[in-house]
């Protein structure tokens, strides 16, 4: 960056986020049954790509620092409170400064290689938790709509709208009292359109019938996920970044209280993770100590999918630039 240019961390973050969403969608559309990979560091790669497009040399570190400070600050870009909480608890579990303390102390230590290494690690961490949230929203929809997902954009949007309609009794209906009578109204999450396609064209009668039939079938599925799936999904950022292998994840799951895992062979457990689009990169090495952050993943409080469902599928109905 030259002295005349101004680095806008918020703009770079949003550009990286758009690229991440588009890349993830394209991957899900084209990936075969055993090729899905929902969390693989896409968001951090997209972010660093846009940083490198605007900065060179040591300026890249200042740009990365500005992005980290932006991503960990809840005020300018709300909606990732749980991802920020998990990042903060991970830093605490490692015995590191909070994001706020680190951002206050780092500028005077940019010349120290260890400080740069920690900044890189922290940025990967917060990006991985945010990626987990975005990918989780997509996976909740995808897992019960696989056939529609591989159709065209119209089929996908109709399937997603059917998903929201199927959840009306659980999360979208609001009861109010008007003139002494109970009145029910429907409020969908911001950004979700019901009744039109991604170009804002109303559905015809046949398309509406298709949507309502899908919604009726989906009411029985509720878009729940098993407790084990939820735990593996939200702890995957740790498993991925710290090179956990299948044995270590399986042992941590048993310590967490998932007794059903003790009856599963490691190969079966690995296939279970792969069916969720989560792949472990760790080898068969034997560590002298427990895997990094083992106690953290065994006791961490996980986000509630129901409270986050308002975001699930929200960006899926939008046409990206």
Q: How confident is the model at residue 3 (pLDDT cuts 50, 70, 90)?
A: very low
Domain membership of residue 54 (yes or no) is yes
Q: What pLDDT score was predicted for residue 77?
A: 65
Q: Which of 47-51, 178-182, 199-203, 209-213 has the lowest mean pLDDT?
A: 178-182
Q: Which residue has the higher pLDDT, 210 or 229?
A: 229
- Whole-angstrom Cα distance, residue 186 to residue 163? 14
pLDDT (tens digit, 9 = 90+) per residue, 45-75? Answer: 999 999 999 888 888 988 999 999 999 998 7
- Whole-angstrom Cα distance, residue 234 to residue 130? 10
Instruction: Clarify whether residues 30 and 96 are in a common domain.
Output: yes
Place of tokens 């059903």: 260
Residue 87: name the closest of 103, 74, 77, 99 by CA: 99
- Domain total of the chain: 3
Indicate if the pLDDT at residue 98 is higher than 70.
Answer: yes
Range of the domain at 53: 9-142
Domain end point (choices 222, 251, 270): 222
Domain membership of residue 164 (yes or no) is yes
Instruction: Clarify whether residues 13 and 137 are in a common domain.
Output: yes
Written as six digits, the tokens of 112 are: 């120290």
Domain end point (choices 101, 116, 142): 142
Indicate if the pLDDT at residue 317 is higher than 70.
Answer: no
Indicate if the pLDDT at residue 242 is higher than 70.
Answer: yes
Query: With DSSP H G I counted as helix, E B as strand and the rest as coil, what are the percentages for the chain, rounded to 5?
Result: 60, 5, 35
Q: Are 244 and 289 in contact (CB under 8 A)?
A: no
Instruction: Clarify whether residues 217 and 232 are in a common domain.
Output: no
Q: Once rounded to an integer, what is the mean pLDDT over residues 215-239?
A: 83
Domain membership of residue 316 (yes or no) is no
Give the end-to-end CA distance of the chain in Å, rounded to a whole number: 26
Domain end point (choices 142, 162, 178): 142
Indicate if the pLDDT at residue 120 is higher than 90.
Answer: yes
Domain membership of residue 287 (yes or no) is yes
Domain membership of residue 179 (yes or no) is yes
Q: Which of 85-94, 248-257, 275-284 has the lowest mean pLDDT?
A: 275-284
Q: What pLDDT score was predicted for residue 197?
A: 80
Instruction: Clarify whether residues 210 and 288 are in a common domain.
Output: no
Q: Which of 35-39, 150-154, 208-212, 259-263 has the lowest mean pLDDT?
A: 150-154
Instruction: Clarify whether residues 175 and 123 are in a common domain.
Output: no
């Amino acid at each position: 960056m030259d002295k005349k240019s101004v680095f806008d961390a918020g703009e770079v973050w949003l550009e990286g986020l758009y690229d991440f969403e588009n890349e993830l969608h394209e991957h899900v559309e084209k990936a075969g049954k055993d090729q899905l990979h929902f969390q693989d560091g896409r968001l951090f790669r997209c972010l660093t790509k846009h940083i490198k497009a605007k900065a060179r040399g040591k300026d890249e570190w200042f740009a990365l620092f500005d992005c980290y400070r932006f991503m960990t600050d809840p005020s300018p870009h709300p909606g990732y409170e749980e991802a920020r909480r998990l990042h903060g608890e991970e830093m605490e579990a490692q015995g590191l400064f909070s994001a706020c303390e680190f951002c206050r102390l780092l500028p005077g230590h940019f010349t120290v290689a260890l400080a740069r290494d920690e900044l890189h690690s922290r940025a990967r961490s917060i990006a991985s938790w945010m990626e987990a949230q975005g990918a989780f929203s997509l996976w909740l929809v995808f897992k019960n709509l696989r056939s529609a997902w591989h159709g065209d954009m119209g089929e996908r949007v109709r399937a997603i709208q059917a998903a929201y309609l199927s959840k009306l009794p659980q999360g979208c209906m609001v009861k109010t009292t008007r003139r002494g009578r109970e009145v029910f109204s429907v409020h969908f999450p911001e950004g979700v359109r019901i009744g039109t396609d991604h170009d804002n064209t109303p559905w015809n009668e046949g398309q509406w019938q298709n949507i309502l039939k899908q919604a009726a079938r989906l009411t029985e599925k509720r878009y729940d996920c098993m407790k084990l799936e939820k735990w593996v999904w939200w702890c995957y950022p740790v498993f991925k970044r710290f090179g956990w292998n299948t044995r270590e994840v399986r042992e941590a799951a048993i310590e967490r209280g998932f007794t059903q895992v003790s009856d599963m062979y490691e190969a079966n457990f690995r296939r279970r993770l792969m069916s969720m689009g989560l792949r472990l990169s760790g080898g068969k090495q034997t560590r002298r100590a427990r895997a990094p952050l083992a106690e953290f993943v065994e006791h961490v409080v996980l986000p509630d999918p129901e409270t986050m469902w308002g975001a699930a599928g929200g960006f899926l109905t939008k046409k990206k630039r």
